[in-house]
Amino acid sequence: MSPTPLRGQKALVTGAGSGIGQAVAIALGQAGADVVVNYYGDTAAGAQEAVERIQAAGSLAIAHLADVSSEQQVQSLFDHMLDVFSTIDILVNNAGLQQDAPIDQMTLAQWNRVISTNLTGQFLCSRLAVGEFKRRGVVPSVSSSAGKILCISSVHEVIPWAGHVNYAASKGGVMMLMKSLAQEVAPFKIRVNSICPGAIQTAINRASWETPEAMSHLLTLVPYGRIGQPGDIARAAVWLASDDADYVTGTSLFVDGGMLLYPGFAGNG
């Protein structure tokens, strides 16, 4: 792969003020894309850091505060992007969160917050991206496709997760959103895929790795024997967004160190 396979392309990464989203935004910028770094909550400094690192790599970058679960804020985010960059070639639906509780203690607010950010947010952003991809069509000097959507899902789109029914339901929803959308827009030469991270070392799962005991317990679930890093996801994102993956659509790429391999069955069953 060329070091800058995304040269000339315009990307939007949601939830890019921290963790996986920040790493993906920086990697897309380093691969040559100009990037809108969407952020929300208390991650303004992380978004600014991403902007600076993308600019240092020679690409353009702007930060934009928006809650992806708000129709009006997503519209403003896209209006800003089209104003500054004229179009969009790559959407990375990354913004997501957890609000964990046993179901008999889970509030409707916790359920709604997770579904509206993790699932409805991906719908709202994909809807506007597809509109622009269809309007513009393929520009062969830029990419062989008319647009790419990457949904950041989770191993929990297939692995049930007790104590996290809102989160697992949102990711199961992302799986069928991604596949149904991929089927719908393939005739327009638009590619839609998911990356399904396993345990990646970020703030969202700090409790699972911050003590040696927690880390060694976590690693019983990871056959490859290490926790993932945001860069593991970012490198997969660059490839999936590039024309090297031009024939890949409607697929979930698990980047999980083997978490999906039922490690509890090794030597058992």
Q: What is the DSSP letter of 199?
A: S
Say whether residue 93 binds ligand BGC (CB under 6 A).
Answer: no
CB of 210 to ligand BGC, least distance (A): 12
Say whether residue 66 binds ligand BGC (CB under 6 A).
Answer: no
Say whether residue 59 binds ligand BGC (CB under 6 A).
Answer: no
With contacts defined by CB under 6 A, name the span among 37-45, 75-83, 200-208, 241-249 that binds ligand BGC. 200-208
Are 124 and 74 in contact, with CB atoms under 8 Å apart? yes
Say whether residue 255 binds ligand BGC (CB under 6 A).
Answer: no
Are 22 and 49 in contact, with CB atoms under 8 Å apart? yes
CB of 80 to ligand BGC, least distance (A): 28
- Residue 50 token pair: 């991403």
Say whether residue 125 binds ligand BGC (CB under 6 A).
Answer: no
Say whether residue 208 binds ligand BGC (CB under 6 A).
Answer: yes
CB of 262 to ligand BGC, least distance (A): 14
Q: The dihedral of CA 43, 47, 52, 53: what is its sign?
A: positive
- Residue 35 token pair: 């990037």
Say whether residue 253 binds ligand BGC (CB under 6 A).
Answer: no
**In angstroms, what CA-CA distances link 14 with 47, 115, 133, 166?**
10, 16, 18, 20
CB of 202 to ligand BGC, least distance (A): 8
CB of 205 to ligand BGC, least distance (A): 3
- Residue 255 token pair: 């980047």
Nearest to 164 by CA among 80, 69, 100: 100
Say whether residue 15 binds ligand BGC (CB under 6 A).
Answer: no
CA-to-CA distance for 248 and 223, rounded, in angstroms?
A: 26
Residues identified as active-site: 167
Say whether residue 229 binds ligand BGC (CB under 6 A).
Answer: no
What 3-state DSSP class applies to 19?
helix
Within residues 136-175, the interface with ligand BGC by CB under 6 A covers 154-156
Binding site for ligand BGC (CB under 6 A): 98, 154-156, 198-199, 204-205, 208
